[in-house]
């Protein structure tokens, strides 16, 4: 006899709960800002990706409302049928301007962008060299493509070179791609793109950078590729409209031919209804704001540097982060969970990240300071960290 769905679900849930891996979801009772409200309590929020506070910004809300009035709440169809409204075109032109490329294509999310874009270009005749800490959506996109996936040790350029050489000289593959996060979301380290580009040029690799955590953050907001001045060297500049941009959606910026191809082969673009007019308008406004106001991004970095320095000063081990992502490394998984609960009890909302998301024994609390936190909020968060750290014998 095969297993019933009921048995599968029941056993699966029980097993997750037993291992402490069953995640309950907190519900916010107001917008996702520097202070959030959960169960009637106000907490300093260090868990969201809303780097610039754009998720609740007045200019974006106004643009969303105006576009909804003008264009309606839905696009009405998938892009190639008749779900391409003028503002979808405007958004793509804006993204290309933002990224310094010939063209861009927008998807409904960063996740489905990776699923669609990787599999539009890579096939079972190809190989993909993929950093072992790449985001889940990259991993799934690579799997979907059917290409041979070759794991690269995290940020290990010698390993990349060795495997690039082996893959290209093997004669087994038609094309070979190197794919990496621009900023790694769990440690906050930045991809070594200058070195990776050298290797890519030597072995004629296709290059794909997922800059979900770099756009609006690195390169005065324009991203990690721009930070290194490599706009002409990276084939796919992928990003999301849901983090610093504050709304929803994903994109690839690149050459006109690449975008032409993705518009006929990117399956979420072809078969899933396009972004809502309101979201599109809000994204355009966000990109305009970032381009016109570098001080928003500067404020994010100032807050992040301030918060990191204070955490270190009271004795916490902050991982080798080079970006606002601020992981406080605690090690033990149980301790990490306990620490996070104590933070919440004391008014600070920050998420524990443990195995299997990160290696065993490297449990951490991941903090995401934003441009909209005040110094007083960050000071208060550090005070709570210090209190909890002493109570749990960490500092
Ligand atoms: C968040 C994230 C995504 C997914 O983006 P969404 O727009 O939220 O779907 C993709 N890649 C990376 C590296 C991310 O951090």
pLDDT digits 0-9 by tens, 16-28: 899 877 888 999 9
Provide the annotated active-site residues. 185, 213, 243
**Quick one: which of 241, 240, 252, 255 has its CA closest to 284?**
241
pLDDT attached to residue 356: 83
182 neighbors 193 (Cβ within 8 angstroms): yes
Ligand 1 contact via 181 beta carbon (within 6 Å): yes
Q: What mean pLDDT is predicted for residues 281-301?
A: 98
Share of the chain above pLDDT 90, in %: 95
pLDDT attached to residue 341: 96
| Residue 149 confidence class, pLDDT cut points 50, 70, 90 | very high
pLDDT digits 0-9 by tens, 31-47: 999 999 999 999 999 99
Measure 391 CA to ligand 1 centroid, in angstroms. 35
Helix (H) or strand (E) holding 168: helix 157-169
pLDDT digits 0-9 by tens, 303-338: 999 999 999 999 999 988 999 999 999 999 999 999
Torsion of CA 124, 128, 134, 140, to 10 degrees: -10
pLDDT digits 0-9 by tens, 55-72: 999 999 999 999 999 999
Say if residue 356 is preceded by a cis peptide, omega within 30 of 0: yes
| Least trusted range by pLDDT, from 109-118, 120-129, 181-190, 349-358 | 349-358
Ligand 1 contact via 212 beta carbon (within 6 Å): yes
Ligand 1 contact via 135 beta carbon (within 6 Å): yes
pLDDT digits 0-9 by tens, 235-271: 999 999 999 999 999 999 999 999 999 999 999 999 9
> Which atom, in ligand 1's list, is nearest to the CA of 213?
15
Q: Whose CA is nearest to atom 1 of ligand 1?
A: 212
In the chain, what are the domains?
15-45+294-391 (3.90.1150.10), 58-292 (3.40.640.10)
Half-sphere exposure of 151 (CA within 13 A, CB side): 7
Measure 244 CA to ligand 1 centroid, in angstroms. 11
> Which atom, in ligand 1's list, is nearest to the CA of 182?
13
| Residue 84 confidence class, pLDDT cut points 50, 70, 90 | very high
- Provide the sign of the torsion angle of the four alpha carbons 111, 182, 134, 257, taken in this order: positive
pLDDT attached to residue 23: 84
Pairing state of beta strands 351-353 and 363-367? antiparallel
217 neighbors 323 (Cβ within 8 angstroms): yes
Ligand 1 contact via 111 beta carbon (within 6 Å): yes
pLDDT attached to residue 22: 85
Measure 393 CA to ligand 1 centroid, in angstroms. 35
| Average pLDDT across the chain, whole number | 97
């Amino acid at each position: 006899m095969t297993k019933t769905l009921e048995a599968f679900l029941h056993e699966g849930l029980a097993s997750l709960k037993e291992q402490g891996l069953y995640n309950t979801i907190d519900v916010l009772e107001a917008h996702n800002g520097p202070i959030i409200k959960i169960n009637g309590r106000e907490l300093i929020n260090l868990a969201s990706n809303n780097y610039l506070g754009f998720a609740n910004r007045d200019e974006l809300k106004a643009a969303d409302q105006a576009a909804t009035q003008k264009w309606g709440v839905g696009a009405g169809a998938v892009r190639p049928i008749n779900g391409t409204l003028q503002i979808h075109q405007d958004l793509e032109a804006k993204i290309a301007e933002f990224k310094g490329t010939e063209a861009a294509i927008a998807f409904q999310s960063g996740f489905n962008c990776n699923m669609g874009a990787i599999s539009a270009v890579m096939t079972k005749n190809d190989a993909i060299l993929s950093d072992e800490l790449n985001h889940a959506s990259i991993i799934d996109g690579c799997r979907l493509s059917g290409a041979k996936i070759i794991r690269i040790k995290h940020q290990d350029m010698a390993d990349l070179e060795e495997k690039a050489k082996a893959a290209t000289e093997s004669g087994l593959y038609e094309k070979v791609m190197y794919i990496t996060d621009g900023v790694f979301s769990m440690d906050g380290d930045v991809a070594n793109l200058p070195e990776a580009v050298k290797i890519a040029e030597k072995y004629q690799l296709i290059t794909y950078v997922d800059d979900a955590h770099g756009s609006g953050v690195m390169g005065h907001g324009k991203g990690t590729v721009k930070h290194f001045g490599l706009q002409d060297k990276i084939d796919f500049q992928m990003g999301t409209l849901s983090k610093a941009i504050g709304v929803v959606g994903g994109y690839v910026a690149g050459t006109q031919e690449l975008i032409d191809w993705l518009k006929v082969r990117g399956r979420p673009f072809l078969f899933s209804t396009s972004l809502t007019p309101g979201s599109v308008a809000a994204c355009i406004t966000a990109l305009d704001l970032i381009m016109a106001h570098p001080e928003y991004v500067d404020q994010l970095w100032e807050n992040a540097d301030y918060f990191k320095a204070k955490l270190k000063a009271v004795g916490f081990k902050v991982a080798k982060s080079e970006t606002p992502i601020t992981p406080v490394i605690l090690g033990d998984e149980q301790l990490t969970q306990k620490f996070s609960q104590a933070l919440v009890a004391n008014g600070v909302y920050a998420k524990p990240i443990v195995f299997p998301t990160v290696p065993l024994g490297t449990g951490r609390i991941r903090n995401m300071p934003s441009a909209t936190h005040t110094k007083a909020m960050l000071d208060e968060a550090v005070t709570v960290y210090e209190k909890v750290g002493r109570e749990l014998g960490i500092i």
